[in-house]
Structure 1
Amino acid sequence: MAARLRINSPKRNKRLQTGWEGFFPYYAGFPELFARELLQSAKLPRGAVILDPWNGSGTTTYAANALGLNAVGIDLNPVMIIVARARLLPPSEADHLRPLAATILSHAHSAPPTLSPDDALLGWFEPETAAFIRGIEQNIRRSLVGSMTKSPEGVHLDKISGTAATLYVALFAACRKLVARFQSSNPTWLRAPKKDEARVVAAQIVVARSFGDNVRGMSAALALKREADRLLTNAPRIGDSKILLSDTATMALENESIDLALTSPPYCTRIDYTAATRIELAVLGPLLSTGARALGKQMIGTTQVPDNTIDVDATWGKTCAAFLKQLKAHPSKASGGYYYRTHLDYYDKMTRSIERLASALKPGGRAILVVQDSYYKELHNDLPKIISEIGQAHGLSLKQRKDFHLRSMSDIHRGRLSYERPSGATESVLCFAR
């Protein structure tokens, strides 16, 4: 009989994001404490494989790695691949970071590159500032991104070294600080400057100091982590983690290869998850084959209307079908057109993703999904129930559910006051078994 899982609140807690964890404050997902205690309570055997198909900043893979479990983390956003890879950097690499950063800054100062007129950084920064930032990025790329990552067949960001990824994260943080004035009250939205709006101007010394301070902080935090690990007398071996760039709706996973999946799929709240990483995508521009808009369209929950025609599928369940019927008939503007089609796109991609997740689980394997409900106007989009029905249609049995009430980002939108609906949202931890 499978061990009963220990389920704490999946709500992120900024007070717990200190030390090494403090350098990965990306929106969404659950805290490392939630993942670690849940995985510990699962009583998995040595060699067990953990999957997170929406790995984001890599909380699941990081927790599994620390517990000596093998893990596979998948994400479609290249920025999150970099972040998750950096998070797995071994503490033994702490001493390498500062001298590497000093060399990279020295080269960036001595030979700033000539910017391409279509460089994405020019959307945020005036040319001289953009050129220096690109110089830092270019020298990270030249020094630390080798033939395994960048080959004649294309760029494979899932092969990037942890050291290179960590220096990219330090540059991400420096750039995010410089464009702070474009951050909205919604943490998932970093707006792009308007055409006639002034771009950011920053002296080279300001950019260099911010990047250097980030690297020094990461090196110090990693060194402290190394010392803490030495004090653990029964520390487990480090697990093997793979971070893969892939679309969950088409991901290729070996059947019956996963012991446990722990993940938080994108919520059905029309969040453009690429908008939260616009500046990071601009930094990574030379390594990307897909632009931010095209990437956003591939995401589950995209705000862009899909090109293809999608029909309601019976495997989406009765709850989903009833909600979509109400949405299509809603009298508000664009409900039966734009909003209906974006919801169809969401449930189509989600169903195809869960089908692949279910096939990858071993018989008796478990899948834990953190899912949040939402509202369209006054219509309740009961995503936990809908996901439960989709899972059951693909051979998953719901064994345990725990609900947590929390504040919702939709509460800050003035338009919600026009419709009768409760405040906040329900975040549910759904535990399935195959």
Structure 2
Amino acid sequence: MAPRLHILSPKRNKRLQTGWEGFFPYYAGFPELFARELLQSARLPRGAVILDPWNGSGTTTYVASDLGMTSIGIDLNPVMIIVARARLLPPSEADHLRPLAATILSHAHSAPPTLDSNDALLGWFEPTTAAFIRGIEQNIRRSLVGSMTKSPDGIHLDKISGTAATLYVALFAACRKLVAPFRSSNPTWLRMPKETEARLVAPQITVARFFADNVRGMSAALATKLDADLLIADTPRAGECKINLSDTASMRLDAGSVDFVLTSPPYCTRIDYTAATRIELAVLGPLMSTGARALGKKMIGSTQVPSASIEIDDKWGKTCAHFLEALKKHPSKASGGYYYRTHLDYFDKMSRSIERMSDALKPGGRAILVVQDSYYKDLHNDLPKVISEIGVKHGLNLKRREDFHLRSMSDINPGRRTYARPSGATESVLCFAK
């Protein structure tokens, strides 16, 4: 009989995001403590493989690695690949981050690049500021991104070194701070400036200070972690970890190769995950083969209408079918057109992803999914129940469900007051077995 899992609240708590974890404040996912308690209570055998098919900022892979476990993290967003790889940087590397950053800044000051007129950074910054930011990025690339990442068949961000990834994250944070005027009330959304709006101007010394301060803080946090590890005699060696840039709906994993899944799939709340990382994608522009819009279309929960016609599938379950029928008939504008089609796209991708996840799971393996419900106008989208039914259709058995009530991002939308519905949301921890 499998041991009973210890399930804490999956709600992220900013007060717990301190030290090294505090440098990865990306939206969604679950806290490190939640993942740690789950994985430790699972009592997995040595050599067990943990999978997170929506790895995001890399909480699952970081905790698994820290516990000496083998793990695989998959994500479609290149920014999240960089962030997850940075998070895995060994504490022993803390000492050389600051000298590296100083050298990179020195080169950026002495030889700013000629900026391409199509550089995505120009969407936010005036040319001189954009050129200096690109100079920092270019020198990170020249110094730390080698032939394994930049191979003849294209860029492989999932092979980027932890050191390079960490410096990219420091630059991400500097740029995010600079573009603060373009944040909205929704913390997941960074709007693009209008054509008539002035672009941001920041002195080189300001940009350099933001970047250097981030590197200094990350170095100090890693050094503190190293000191803490040295005080613990039986600290496990970091486990092997693979971070792969891939689409979960078409990911290739060997059948029966995974012992345990811990993940949080994208919620069906019309969050544009590429819009949430717009500035980071702009920084990564030279390393990307796919533009932000094309990338957004591939995402689960895309706000773009799918080009192909999609029909409701029996494998989506009865709850999903009833919700989609009600959505299609809803009297509000575009419900039966745009919104219906984007929801079809969401459930199609989700079902195909869960099928591949289930196929990868060993007989007797377990999958833990953190899923949040939502509302479309006044229609309850009971996503935990929908995901439960999809899982069963693809060979999984729901063994346990724990619900946690929390505030919802939709509560800040003034339009929600038009419809009668409860405030907040239910975040459910679904425990499946194969």
TM-score strictly above 0.5: yes
CA distance in 2, matches of 1:204, 1:339: 44
Partner residue of 2:87? 87
Aligned counterparts, 1:15-94, within 5 A? 15-94=15-94
AA matched with 2:325 = K
| Alpha-carbon offset, residue 268 of structure 1 | 0.4
Alpha-carbon distance in 1 for matches of 2:209, 2:71: 36
Q: Give the match for residue 407 of structure 2.
A: 407
Q: Structure 1: which 5+ residue stretches go unaligned?
A: none
Partner deviation per Cα, 1:93-127 (whole Å, 9 max, x = no partner): 00110110011001000100000000000001000
Deviation digits for residues 54-88 of structure 1 (CA, Å, limit 9, x no counterpart): 00000000000011100000000000000000000
1:384-430 deviations in whole A, cap 9, x for unaligned? 00000000001000001100000001111111111111110000000
1:18-72 residue CA offsets vs partner (Å, 9 max, x unmatched): 1111100001100000000000000001111100000000000000001110000
* Alignment partners' CA distance in 1, 2:375 and 2:74: 28
Aligned partner of residue 244 in structure 1, secondary structure: strand
TM-score of the aligned structures, taking structure 1 as reference length = 1.00
Amino acid of the residue matched to residue 84 of structure 1? Answer: A
Q: CA deviation digits over 1:304-357, x for unaligned, max 9?
A: 100000000000000000100100011111000000000000000000000000
- Tell me the CA shift for residue 276 of structure 1: 0.8
Q: How far did 1:144 drift?
A: 0.2
- AA aligned to 2:50 is I
Matches within 5 A, 1:28-427: 28-427=28-427
**Partner amino acid, structure 2, of 1:310:** I
CA distance in 2 between counterparts of 1:233 and 1:92 reads 16
Q: Deviations over 1:244-284 (max 9, x none)?
A: 00000000011100000000000001110011100000000
Find the aligned partners of 1:210 and 1:356 in 2 and give their Cα distance: 42
TM-score scaled by length of structure 2? 1.00
Distance in 2, Cα, partners of 1:15 & 1:425: 21
Root-mean-square deviation (CA), in Å?
0.5
CA shift, 1:166, in A, is 0.2
Secondary structure class of the residue paired with 1:217: helix
SS in 2 for 1:2: coil
Deviations along 1:206-239, one digit per CA (max 9) or x if unpaired, are: 1111101111110011000000011112212210
Q: SS at the partner of 1:301?
A: coil
Q: SS state of the match for residue 331, structure 1?
A: coil
Matches of 1:175 and 1:333, distance apart in 2: 37
Matched AA of 1:108 = A
Following the alignment from structure 2 to structure 1, what is the Cα–Cα distance between the partners of residues 301 and 187?
Answer: 16
1:157 is displaced (CA, Å) by 0.1
Give secondary structure in 2 for the equivalent of 1:380. Answer: strand
Task: State the partner residue of 1:432.
Answer: 432
Structure 1 distance, partners of 2:113, 2:70, is 41
Instruction: Report the CA distance between 1:185 and its aligned residue.
Output: 1.2
Paired residues in the alignment total 434
Give identity over the alignment, percent. Answer: 82
Give the ranges of 4+ consecutive aligned residues of structure 1 lying more than 4 Å apart after TM superposition: none
In structure 2, stretches of 5+ residues that fail to align are none
- Specify the code of the residue in structure 2 equivalent to 1:262: L
After TM superposition, give the deviation of residue 293 of structure 1 in Å.
Answer: 0.8
- How far did 1:152 drift? 1.0
Which secondary structure state, in structure 1, belongs to the residue aligned with residue 249 of structure 2?
A: coil
Q: Distance in 2 between matches of 1:129 and 1:8?
A: 44
Opposite residue 20 of structure 2, the aligned amino acid is: W
- SS of the residue 2:369 aligns to: strand
Amino acid aligned to 1:424: G
